[in-house]
Amino acid sequence: MAFRTTLLPAGVLGDPDAVRTFVLDAAQRVSLTITQERRDPKVFRVAVSPEAIAALPDAIRFVLPALRGSFWRVSFVSPTPEGAEYLGRNHRFVATLARYLMEEALTRHGQAKASRCGVIRTRAVDKLTTVLLLRIRYLLHQPERVPLLSEEVQVAGFVNGSPAGSRKWLKDDQALRLLAEARPDANVPLAEKSELVTAALNMWPKLEAGLQERVTARAAELEGRHKRIRQAVAMRVRELRLEPQFPPDLLGILVLQPMV
């Protein structure tokens, strides 16, 4: 029997700016009002009055603090301004928002508040580019212990090449930067979005070889880290082995179309 843990790289989870962007965007999707204070731009007010949170999903409403006033003052920076609560990526409220939107996207499909597929036309790329959000699982074999099932979220991306069907894989930091920073610079007609997403999804089975090579290299990197940590505390490393589980799960796709 194996137990599960989760490995989420800091780059995927996000720095304070990424956490702020995520929370503000997620709040709009679930109809939670968050406004920035004029006197202190580092502080935001979350509306928590009974009327303001009545229509929220139960999972999110239950993690909001019970306050006498109508607003919960929060901040995404540290040191945190006086009277505000720090919201980092591990805060219960932030984690619940992320979990709710992810689970809904995985189960409710077209009715979800957050989409798993997207298309934008952007100046961030000069060739058609696809970014993948992946969940990768590993079995961590440890000396004299039950194997541990671990998982992490990774971002991968590639540039569609010529001839048709060829592709050039991006470095991990390049793909992550596009996912985090690429912004739409022009509208994309709905029919064109559908065509591009369908083409990306049809390509998924053909990506297995390229992804297997990348995941295997990632497993070797993580295995080396585990061994170095164990060596530092005088633990056995000879039988330690990190075994990637294929194929990875496809959580989301973002197609970036260059400007004409």
Which pLDDT tens digit goes with each residue over 118-171? 999 999 999 999 999 999 999 988 877 888 898 888 999 999 876 666 789 999
**Beta strand pairing status for 117-122 and 148-160?**
unpaired
Are 62 and 140 contained in the same domain? no
Indicate if 215 and 229 belong to the same structural domain. Answer: yes
Between 3-7, 80-84, 214-218, 256-260, the lowest mean confidence (pLDDT) is in: 3-7
Q: pLDDT at position 96, please? A: 93
What is the model's pLDDT at position 24? Answer: 93
Q: Can you tell me the distance from the alpha carbon of 122 to that of 203, in angstroms, rounded to the nearest whole number? A: 22
| Amino acid code (one letter) for 214 | R
Structure confidence at residue 50 (pLDDT): 93
* Spatial distance between the Cα atoms of 101 and 110, rounded to a whole number of angstroms: 13
- Domain boundary, last residue among 111, 139, 154: 111
Angle between helices 92-108 and 16-29 (to 10 degrees): 50
Strand, coil or helix: what is 191? Answer: helix
Q: What is the pLDDT of residue 165?
A: 66
Do 137 and 251 belong to one domain? yes
Residues 61 and 107 in one domain: yes
Q: Which domain holds residue 182?
A: 117-258
Instruction: Mean pLDDT check: name the lowest of 3-12, 17-26, 194-203, 230-239.
Output: 3-12
To the question of pTM greater than 0.85 for the whole model, the response is no
Do 70 and 41 belong together in one domain?
yes
Q: 123 and 175 share a domain?
A: yes
Strand 129-141 and strand 117-122: the pairing is unpaired
Clarify whether residues 228 and 209 are in a common domain: yes
Q: Are residues 141 and 232 in the same domain?
A: yes
Looking at the fold, whether 106 and 127 belong to one and the same domain comes out as no
Residue 252 β-bridge partners = 133
When divided into structural domains, the chain yields a total of 2
